[in-house]
């Protein structure tokens, strides 16, 4: 904890931000909470819909929603809101950019649904993944056959109208090689933003944007404020997918496609919440902890601005609630 405190103080000094004791402790507490990890190994976990996923000891969370179910999450948070099945039916060829291959569930479920209605459709899949697991549990039918096909093609291969290529290593570096590839759907599925911030920064999302068809859809399970704000700042229209296994839905974004955008209350949160500032990673090479420290300091500055605005508003309001316009 002391090392983290020193890091926060050093970064604040470099940015010219003075911290009082209360502010320092709030920043420290939040970052400590975001980076907390239980010391436990990977393990197989059964989810709500009966399908299995893996628990990541490194990140301290599962690869898929336990409460929604792994298959249900893939279908309702990724495949359906991306409209990839409809595009395959109309065009006969689609491209999917899979950010975080993980266990391959999202692309397997997508492939199953596509081939069911458009068996001759050509499907090109490019995935970004740090490294491939060897202990991937195969999905139940009807998805299992397509899941096995994808696994057999790893890390690169083509068969039965399906092309798969996994770009291994740091996704921030590998995304730069996506020249001439324009995705009809982006399945953005790294670990959660506060656990894996380098995969959700404004700069990384900008690189993903460059590899999207303008009428394509970016979809994810998260409703995180810094992520949604980054998408909006990058020119995306942003909406929500249906809630699955929790109160809040995921996020759907597009540059030129049709979309029911966020409602007034959600849009207001992206303006008024101090936490609605994007993660930043200029150069796409920063340490995740440094990204979180800078993010929380940016949040602190927003908190100060909002607090100052409230105090200023209180000073200029009359007892009756109107604005004072001069001396009595």
Instruction: Report yes or no on 138 lying in a domain.
Output: no
Is the domain of 22 the same as that of 88?
no
Range of the domain at 158: 70-132+154-272
Is the domain of 20 the same as that of 108?
no
Q: Are 323 and 294 in contact (CB under 8 A)?
A: no
Is the domain of 301 the same as that of 175?
no
Please tell me the total count of domains within the chain.
2
Is the domain of 267 the same as that of 297?
no
pLDDT digits (tens, 9 = 90+) for 117-171: 999 999 999 999 999 999 999 999 999 999 999 999 999 999 999 999 999 999 9
Is the domain of 31 the same as that of 80?
no
Instruction: Report yes or no on 90 lying in a domain.
Output: yes
Is the domain of 174 the same as that of 103?
yes
Instruction: Report yes or no on 42 lying in a domain.
Output: no
Is the domain of 164 the same as that of 299?
no
Cα–Cα distance, 159 to 64 (Å, whole number):
27
> Residue 254: which CATH number?
3.40.50.150
pLDDT value at position 256? Answer: 97
What share of the chain in percent tops pLDDT 70?
94
Cα–Cα distance, 278 to 231 (Å, whole number):
9
* Contacts within 8 Å (CB) and 24+ apart, 272-277: 272/306, 273/225, 274/299, 274/300, 274/302, 274/303, 274/306, 275/225, 275/226, 275/299, 275/302, 276/225, 276/226, 276/228, 276/229, 277/226, 277/229, 277/302
Instruction: Report yes or no on 20 lying in a domain.
Output: yes
* Contacts within 8 Å (CB) and 24+ apart, 253-259: 253/217, 253/218, 253/219, 254/215, 254/216, 254/217, 254/218, 255/209, 255/212, 255/214, 255/215, 255/216, 256/214, 256/215, 257/83, 257/214, 257/215, 257/216, 257/217, 259/217
Is the domain of 176 the same as that of 240?
yes
CA torsion angle 34 37 41 43 (round to 10): -40
Instruction: Report yes or no on 324 lying in a domain.
Output: no
Look up residue 260 and give its two tokens: 């029911």
Q: Are 79 and 99 in contact (CB under 8 A)?
A: no
**57 SS3 class:** coil
Residue with tokens 């929604």: 68
Is the domain of 104 the same as that of 161?
yes
Is the domain of 101 the same as that of 235?
yes
Q: How confident is the model at residue 314 (pLDDT cuts 50, 70, 90)?
A: low
Is the domain of 171 the same as that of 304?
no
Burial of 157 (0-12, 13-18, 19+ CB in 10 A): middle
Instruction: Report yes or no on 326 lying in a domain.
Output: no
Instruction: Report yes or no on 221 lying in a domain.
Output: yes
Residue after which a domain boundary falls, among 272, 301, 323: 272
Cα–Cα distance, 288 to 123 (Å, whole number):
33
pLDDT digits (tens, 9 = 90+) for 22-70: 999 999 999 999 999 877 899 999 999 999 999 999 999 999 999 999 9
Region 264-281: mean pLDDT is: 95
Task: Quote the pTM value.
Answer: 0.93
CB-facing half-sphere around the CA of 310: CA atoms within 13 A: 7
Residue with tokens 């995705």: 183
Q: Are 154 and 165 in contact (CB under 8 A)?
A: no
Res. 76: pLDDT tops 50: yes
Instruction: Report yes or no on 76 lying in a domain.
Output: yes
Is the domain of 86 the same as that of 9?
no
pLDDT value at position 315? Answer: 53
């Amino acid at each position: 904890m002391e090392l983290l405190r020193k890091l926060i103080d050093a970064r604040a000094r470099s940015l010219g931000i003075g911290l009082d004791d209360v502010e320092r402790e709030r920043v420290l507490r939040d970052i400590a909470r975001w980076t907390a990890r239980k010391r436990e190994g990977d393990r197989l976990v059964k989810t709500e819909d009966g399908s299995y996923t893996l628990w990541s000891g490194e990140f301290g969370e599962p690869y898929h929603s336990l409460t929604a179910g792994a298959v249900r999450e893939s279908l309702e948070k990724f495949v359906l809101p991306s409209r990839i099945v409809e595009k395959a039916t109309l065009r006969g060829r689609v491209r999917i950019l899979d950010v975080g291959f993980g266990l391959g569930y999202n692309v397997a479920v997508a492939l199953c649904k596509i081939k069911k209605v458009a068996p001759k459709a050509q499907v090109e899949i490019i995935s970004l993944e740090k490294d491939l697991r060897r202990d991937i549990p195969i999905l139940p039918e009807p998805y299992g056959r397509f899941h096995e096909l994808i696994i057999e093609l790893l890390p690169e291969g083509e068969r039965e109208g399906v092309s798969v290529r996994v770009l291994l290593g740091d996704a921030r570096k590998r995304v730069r090689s996506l020249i001439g590839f324009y995705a009809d759907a982006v399945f953005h599925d790294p670990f959660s933003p506060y656990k894996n911030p380098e995969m959700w920064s404004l700069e990384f999302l900008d690189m993903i944007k460059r590899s999207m068809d303008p009428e394509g859809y970016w979809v994810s399970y998260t409703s995180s404020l810094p992520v949604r704000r980054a998408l909006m700042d990058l020119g995306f229209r942003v909406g929500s997918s249906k809630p699955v296994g929790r109160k809040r839905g995921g996020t759907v974004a597009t540059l030129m496609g049709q979309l029911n955008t966020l409602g007034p209350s959600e849009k207001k949160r992206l303006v008024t919440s101090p936490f609605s500032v994007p993660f930043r990673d200029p150069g796409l090479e920063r340490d995740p902890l440094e990204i979180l420290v800078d993010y929380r300091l940016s949040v602190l500055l927003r908190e100060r601005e909002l607090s100052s605005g409230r105090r200023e508003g209180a000073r200029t309001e009359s007892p009756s609630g109107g604005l004072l316009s001069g001396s009595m």
